Amino acid sequence: MSIKGQKIIRLTFSYLIVAIMAGIIFYPLLWIVGSSFNPGQSLSGSKMFPDNATLAHYKYLFDPEQSDYLKWYWNSIKVSTLTMLFSVILVSLTAYSFSRYRFIGRKNGLLTFLILQMIPNFAALIAIFVLALLTGLLDTHLGLILVYVGGAIPMNTWLMKGYLDTIPKELDESAKIDGAGHLRIFFQIVMPLAKPIIAVIALFTFTSPFADFILASILLRSEEKYTLAVGLYDMIAKQFGNEFTNFAAGSVLIAIPIAILFLSFQKYFVSGLTAGGTKG
Q: Percent of the chain, pLDDT > 90? A: 33
CB 121 within 8 A of CB 114: no
Q: Is residue 37 within 8 Å of residue 54, measured between CB atoms?
A: yes
191 within 8 A of 209, measured Cβ to Cβ? no
Closest listed residue to residue 201, CA positions, set 147, 268, 141: 268
Amino acid making up residue 247: F
- Give the three-class secondary structure for 94: helix
pLDDT value at residue 280: 43
CB 256 within 8 A of CB 183: no
Q: What is the pLDDT of residues 94-152, one digit of tens each?
A: 999 998 888 888 888 888 888 877 777 677 888 899 999 999 999 999 999 999 999 89
Rounded mean pLDDT of 230-251? 80
Predicted local confidence at residue 277, as pLDDT: 44
**Is the pTM for the entire model greater than 0.75?**
yes
Average pLDDT, the chain: 85
Q: What percent of the chain shows pLDDT beyond 70?
A: 91
163-191 burial: b if 16+ Cβ within 10 Å, else e = bbbebeeeebeebeeeebeeeebbeebbe
Mean pLDDT of 155-168: 89
Q: Is 136 left (phi over 0), alpha (psi -120 to 50) or beta?
A: left
Q: How far is 150 from 157, CA to CA, in rounded Å?
A: 11
- pLDDT at residue 276, rounded to an integer: 44
Distance (Å, whole) CA 45 – CA 158: 48
Distance CA 27, CA 29 (A): 5
Q: How far apart are CA 48 and CA 9, in angstroms?
A: 33
Question: What DSSP line would sit under 122-170, residue for residue?
Answer: GGGHHHHHHHHHHTT-TT-HHHHHHHHHHHHHHHHHHHHHHHHTTS-TH
Considering the domain 64-275 in this protein, what is its CATH number?
1.10.3720.10
pLDDT for the residue numbered 278: 45
- pLDDT for 133: 92
Reference 191, options 107, 95, 255, 85; nearest CA is 95
Q: Where in the chain is the domain with CATH 1.10.3720.10?
A: 64-275
Residue 87 has pLDDT above 50, yes or no: yes
User: Does residue 179 surpass a pLDDT of 60?
Assistant: yes
Could you report the per-residue pLDDT of 38-72, keeping only the tens digit for each?
887 666 666 677 777 888 889 989 988 888 999 99
Which residue, among 188, 181, 207, 184, has the nearest Cα to 265 in the 3D structure?
207
Residue 201 in this model has a pLDDT that exceeds 80: yes
